[in-house]
Amino acid sequence: MPEGLHPQTLAVRQAIARSQYGEHSEALFLTSSYVQPDAATSARRFANEEPGYTYSRTSNPTVTSFEQRLAGLEGTECAIGTATGMAAISLVVYGLLKSGDHVIASRSMFGSTIKLLGSELARFGVETTFVSQTDLQEWKAAIRPGTTKLLFAETPTNPLTDVCDIHALANLAHNAGAWLAVDNSFLTPALQRAAGFGADLVIHSGTKFLEGQGRVMAGAVCGPSTLVQDKLGAFIRSAGFNLSPFNAWVVLKGMETLFIRMREQSRNAMELAQWLQAHPSVSRVYYPGLDSHAQHALAMQQQGGFGGAVLSFDVRGDSPEQLRANAFAVVDHCRVASKTTNLGDTKTTVSHPATTSHGRLSEEQRQAAGVGQGLIRVSVGLEYPKDIQDDLARGLACL
Ligand SMILES: *Cc1c(COP(=O)(O)O)cnc(C)c1O
């Protein structure tokens, strides 16, 4: 293909070369190993002295297609596919860090990420300091010269959509000799290209918008070959966090509609956010597309003018018990939107973070993350916007 194609074209076109059959749709190579022409070639391939497939824990053509397409979209040299988004984050922390290293991360992130960085990693002698997503001074103050190796951010955050300044965090990390990793699951490269703002590594839960229709789990890490190929690629061969070829193929096909989905779902989310903001039973809406969002201007600059497809809102209520009951009532009155914790689907999903995605956190961690009992998260899909408004209106009318 010619050089310089727009990411929107790469989302449809970028993959490995066609096989000898000239298939138009990308082939699915369901195979765990590869037949070698002779023992000497096999030896060279296993020793990494010549390219060629050997075993699917090392590489697989369908997974390679997914990795090349995603790297093309993110504008990074390489990408590496992983079994899930959490496997991608695990690959980064276990593949790059060692005992004694220090990590700084936002305290308002995806629940499993907080759990992994805050609890699991500590068992291996890697300490994480959690700071405010939006207060650069806190990130700066947490740096331990020579010891801090990784700054980890997710923007916008799940579920409160706090936005951090990627460029500022990248500068901070690089001045301290650390890497910046950004979880870009909420926006995908269709709306935000974090490497372009200076992030060293861009992480994805491919389970969400990249796949787009809630069918399979997947993940990825994108970045320069010195990190992704040399360090993480070498590590995954032993660690085995690999993406399955079938799942890679499903996500690859999902990515063909990525740009059109992200823009349309974002527009639908904006409409819903404006409607919720005007509703008397709603006390607060969290959505970067709204003027009322604290980092609205920054978000518009980082996110190509779009707010993304996920929003959250607080229902009214006087006590934690009443807030929870009110939130449950709104969720339970939905007949179109799905009551499920997944996000990034073409189907709108509603969830109650305090008892689902953030349910495993201690009350203290949950308070720090700002996830109250009255909070509802909506991942807005492709339905006709008014039908989703009517769905939420039913429950809100009861409060
Ligand atoms: C879902 C999610 C993850 C984890 O991805 P899985 O594919 O479920 O392992 C990580 N980060 C964010 C922002 C997510 O929404």
- Report residue 128: phi and psi, to 5°: -115, 130
Distances (CA, A) of 104 to 148, 149, 162, 197, 369: 7, 9, 17, 19, 15
Whole-number pLDDT of residue 184: 97
Distance 86 CA to ligand 1 centre (A): 6
pLDDT per residue as tens digits for the range 107-121: 888 888 999 999 999
27-45: per-residue pLDDT in tens? 999 999 999 999 999 999 9
* 8 A C-beta contact, residue 321 and residue 372: no
For a ligand 1 pocket test, name from 114, 203, 208 the mutation site with the most ligand atoms within 8 angstroms of its C-beta. Answer: 208
Domain ranges in the chain with CATH number 3.90.1150.10:
258-396
Q: Are 88 and 204 in contact (CB under 8 A)?
A: yes
Name the residue with the closest Cα to ligand 1, atom 8. 85
Residue 217 Cα: closest atom of ligand 1:
7
Residue nearest to atom 1 of ligand 1 (CA): 205
pLDDT at 359: 81
Q: Where in the chain is the domain with CATH 3.40.640.10?
A: 7-256
Atom 5 (ligand 1) nearest CA: 85
Whether the model pTM is above 0.75: yes
- Class of the domain covering 258-396: alpha beta
The dotted CATH code for 7-256 is: 3.40.640.10
Ligand 1 atom nearest residue 207's Cα? 7
Asked whether the predicted pLDDT for residue 281 surpasses 80, the reply is yes
The tokens of 210 are what? Answer: 């990249």
Task: Give me ligand 1 centre to Cα 62, in Å.
Answer: 22
Locate the ligand 1 atom nearest the alpha carbon of residue 343 and give its number. 15
83 SS3 class: coil
- Find the residues whose C-beta lies inside 6 A of ligand 1: 84-86, 110, 112-113, 154, 158, 183, 185-186, 205, 207-208, 217, 219
pLDDT band with cut points at 50, 70 and 90 for residue 361:
confident
> Ligand 1 centre and the CA of 273: distance in Å?
23
Identify the pLDDT of residue 111: 83
